[in-house]
Amino acid sequence: MQGNNRILLGMSGGLDSTMSALLLKKQGYQVIGLTLKTWHLHPEKYEEELQKASSLAQKLNIEHSILDISRSFREEVVDYFCNEYQIGRTPNPCNRCNPIIKWPWLIQKAEELNCSHVATGHYVQKVKENGRWYVKKGADPSKDQSYFLWNLSQKILEKALFPLGNLTKKEVRQMALDHGLKETARKQESMGVCFLGGTNYREFLAQKQENNELTIHPGEIVDEEGNKLGTHRGLAFFTIGQKKGLALPDKKFFVKEMEPDTNRIIVSKTASLSTATLSLQEFNLTPDLQENKKYQVNIRIRGIDKVPSLPGFITLHSNKLKVDFEEEAWGITPGQSIVFYQKDTVIGGGLVKP
């Protein structure tokens, strides 16, 4: 191994980052573990997770520290999450956190600690083509996390390492068992929004409203002609396509649209929620794409593996990106990310706006 072999590893205390540390050590790197302490709804339970990260680092005989970034995380991610729901959008906090909180902090600390690269336990790979770095899908299709990294800068990708990218989750679990880390190997994975710790986001928003930390206004429920059918308790508690919670006598109505300006929910029994085309104003795209030229891509509209990617085309027009689906996409909502692939490589993504 040549040059600086010091690697900063983002450690959560879970299986993936722990096994990343083990793999890097085996490859001859000097691993320095760093846990970013973010804001969490359940601080006592979260504190236990932080201590697990320290304990695992000690077992692996690597340096470890905890960096409190809870204030900036709360302002940039949690507040954003709440504000987006307030105006009827569906945010993805991971796509917000990665480029402006998590990775910049890791890169900054790596530079301070004289580390050449930053590693995480993401199930993705990276490739270099024509002098540019790209995120590529991980080898395990059921764990691939490339959807959440579409907006990382070249500076970040150049420094990034993904030790688990060519492994399956099953292989990673077995590795932990082989090294006597039974508790880590069998630990249940955390699902959903990290800072909610399993709490439903609607409960979280309602709790903040009760504590006067968030103002959510009730409004009207109207049909497509504008006729008032009822009232709602706040746009934040509804999403496109939702039927439950409308409290209307006719149970066949579903949410077709939400209007932040008027604070109204528009419902329908028959409207199509399928989308054939989109125009994105906020996006990140490889610079190799020429304007006014149509490119064939696979489009991922959600981060969960059970929702397959859809074939389609993208066309760049000045400061807008036109997205055409070959097969109509169902239930796309303002605020969510959509990500574009050519084969297994991410070539860009964008945010859906009203």
Where in the sequence numbering do the catalytic residues fall?
97, 194
Q: Which residue has tokens 């297994």?
A: 344
Consecutive H or E run containing 285: strand 282-285
Of 269, 209, 256, 213, nearest in space to 233 by CA: 209
Q: How far is CA 129 from the centre of its chain?
A: 25
Q: Which residues, other chains included, contact 15 with Cβ-Cβ below 8 Å and sequence gap of 6+? A: 121, 172, 173, 176, 184, 185, 187, 189
The tally of CA atoms less than 13 A away on the side-chain side of residue 24 is 32
The angle, 0 to 180 degrees and rounded to 10, between the axes of the packed helices 201-210 and 79-86 is 90
Burial class (CB in 10 A: 0-12, 13-18, 19+), 91: buried
Residue 202 is classified by DSSP as H
